[in-house]
Amino acid sequence: MNINKKYKNFGIIAIIATMLIYSCNDKEEKKETTDMEDSNMTKNVLLNEWEGPYGGVPAFDKMKVEDIKPALEEAMEVNLNEIEKIANNDEPATFENTIVAMEKSGEELNRVFTYYGIYSSNMSSPEFREVQQEMAPKLSEFQSKISQNEKLFQRIKTVYEASKKDSLEADQQRVVQLTYEQFAMNGAELDEEKKKRYAEINKELSELYTTFSNNVLADEEGYVTYINKEQLGGLSEPLVKAYAKAAADRGKDGQYAITNTRSSMDPFLTYSDERELREKVWKNYYSRGDNGDEHDNNEIITKILKLRKERVGLLGYDNYADWRLQNRMAKNPENALKLMNAVWPAAIARVQEEVADMQAIADAEGKNIKIEPWDYRYYAEKVRKKKYDLDSDEVKSYLQLDKLREAMFFVAGELFNYNFAPVAEGQVPVFHPDVKVWEVTDKNSGEHIGLWYLDPFARPGKRSGAWATTYRSHTTFNGKETVLASNNSNFVKPAPGEPVLVSWDDAETFFHEFGHALHFFSSEVRYPTLNGGVRDYTEFQSQLLERWLSTDPVINNYLVHYETGKPMPQELVQKIKNASTFNQGFATTEYLASALMDMELHLADPENLDVDTFEKETLATLKMPNELVMRHRTPHFGHVFSGEGYATAYYGYMWADVLTSDAAEVFAEAPDGFYDKTIAAKLVKYLFAPRNAMDPAEAYRKFRGRDAKIDALMKDRGFPIPKE
């Protein structure tokens, strides 16, 4: 998941919501702001300009929750004053005095949101969640004051119309176009009555998004499965030690804790011999937000869907999907559904084959069971061993987190000419002792490019999953800004002195998120807006980087046994390659089910919608296999309902995967394969450096020489290529 956190005036709510945040109470706050007005800019560290080495760095070691609210209020006021000055400029609207002026505004707010993002994603607490709830409506009102500023929009529109005739440079035309479209899509041309309702809807949604995400986090923190020594059958020693530490951290010495996160749940379901416990852990995880209690999200989802439909109706759209996809690569929901439906039949057909193989093993063992969702990973592992003589535990013994990080640095050096050097502890402030920092420089020139922060381990208050974000993005229009980027994961923290061993899937995810960081570091754009991206395209670059995990230089030099230090034997490498299409039915179906559900929910009439019933009926229509569930069930589908980052856009991973498979063929066919310098240079020039300064379709054609085809994707997954 990629969160590029360069704040943009008209898109503030989308950015905040995606990071899981938000709220208001007017009277007393006005007085507090007035009292602090003269001192906050210097005394509130969240507002201060960043100081220290590397062009200044966030003061993570000094941030406090109680500073968040006054910092937000002060920064919003400063930004609104900046916007008013632009909107009321007596001079005729030009690119410089309108668009560039907007690009320069909001620096204080950018800094505050860096800290806000850390608290919301990495270091949440009950105290911070109170701030979220309180500030959500205020942030929404702030956004509306900008997006509905009539004078500002008229100036933007003037520049937009003139840009069709003026001799603006290509990136300038692009930033004008994106700015105009964002304002127009967010109601800038509505009449006053509709603008008022539009703002009210955004305010309501901001509160619902916050409640949704906090409910999921509450269920992740509240449901922990504790087991004893007699219930460890099938689990590896490193995993047992990690579960023991998780229990000890929660005051349960002598027990073992399976927390309600994917990184803890997944290996337990894969290896544990205790079927009843597998069922319990599975149900805990997949019922998040769906337990019929104070943290249940079903009613919230219905409200969100109604409000989204009403909001786009004000703009003349029949449904949210039509509005949302108009400026994406897919352009409309029909094209997105066409791609998903082309892959879906092959995916569920493969699931039937996979289940048959698993059921045969269970029957042979005399288990007298029918494969259920909590059995899928466990018996898939048995099938893997039988079909390919491939033991995932054996593979994990060669996948050490530290070595994988070194492998990623190696790949970045080969493709991007980057060097990563550790920053001495204490030189750069961090928000948690687990966080480590590296300086990124150009290998040839030694030029400083930025800093890379890594926060690898799960902990209470940290949202689940893996993601990348920026604290400062690259721009050149106002003096060159170097990049501060981070990767965040939820690996189970090992016992002291023990290595972190991960699955092949987790290793791919680690590479994937690092791909986002490389996208940030390689940016060559002038304007902050152009550091954004199109959702069904920005996952492509990171998905492509996953391919380097299985290249020979990485395997031979970095995938070494955690005890012996010996490289992975060729026999095991071959087994991995032979099994490359194994379990693709499961992987593709669980993902596509979520993507299809996302789209169908937003195409449906939300009136009188019962979320659980709709989910069941839609899956039945799709002929979803009973032996697995969606990767993200609707009540905890944070991509879609804790904000709008992936709403009607979760299909984007599949869209991007088509590009990934197609682009990977270019490297596979190159003289020097995945390390071909000529192809790597084209990769950086056309697919990484432009960010959103170039239309994604045009950028891909410049790299590939044509549009992407679905054939390579189907071949990669071992599916038959659909006929035209």
Q: Where would I find the beta strands (DSSP E) of 435-537?
A: 436-442, 448-457, 467-472, 483-491
- The SS3 call for residue 491 is strand
Find how far residue 417's CA is from the centre of its chain: 26
Residue carrying structure tokens 């990769």: 683
Residue carrying structure tokens 């981070």: 486
Token readout for 281 is 């852990």
Beta-carbon contacts of 343 under 8 Å, excluding residues fewer than 6 positions away, are 588, 592, 654, 710, 713, 714, 719
Residue carrying structure tokens 């754009």: 525
The H-assigned helical ranges of 122-258 are 126-147, 150-163, 170-185, 192-222, 237-248
Q: Which of 513, 546, 590, 627 is catalytic?
A: 513
Closest to 531 (Cα-Cα) out of 467, 449, 475: 475
The alpha carbon torsion through 266, 270, 275, 281 (nearest 10 deg) reads 0
Query: Helices 504-521 and 535-545 meet at what angle, rounded to 10?
Result: 120
**CB-hemisphere CA count at 13 Å for 552?**
6
- The SS3 call for residue 479 is strand
**CB-hemisphere CA count at 13 Å for 278?**
22
Token readout for 537 is 């395209």
Q: How many residues does the chain have?
A: 724
Q: Are 523 and 536 in contact (CB under 8 A)?
A: no
Give 486's strand partners: 453, 469
Dihedral sign for Cα atoms in the order 227, 230, 231, 237: positive
Q: Are 608 and 585 in contact (CB under 8 A)?
A: no
Rounded distance between C-alpha atoms, residue 331 and residue 406, angstroms: 39
Q: Are 357 and 583 in contact (CB under 8 A)?
A: no
Residue carrying structure tokens 């009539």: 150
Rounded distance between C-alpha atoms, residue 505 and residue 510, angstroms: 9
Closest to 696 (Cα-Cα) out of 704, 683, 684, 687: 687
Residue 513 falls in the annotated catalytic set:
yes
Rounded distance between C-alpha atoms, residue 278 and residue 265, angstroms: 9
Rounded distance between C-alpha atoms, residue 390 and residue 62, angstroms: 49
Buried b (16+ CB within 10 A) or exposed e, 16-29: bbbbbbbbbeeeeb
Residue 259, exposed/middle/buried by CB under 10 A (0-12, 13-18, 19+)? buried
Active site residues: 513
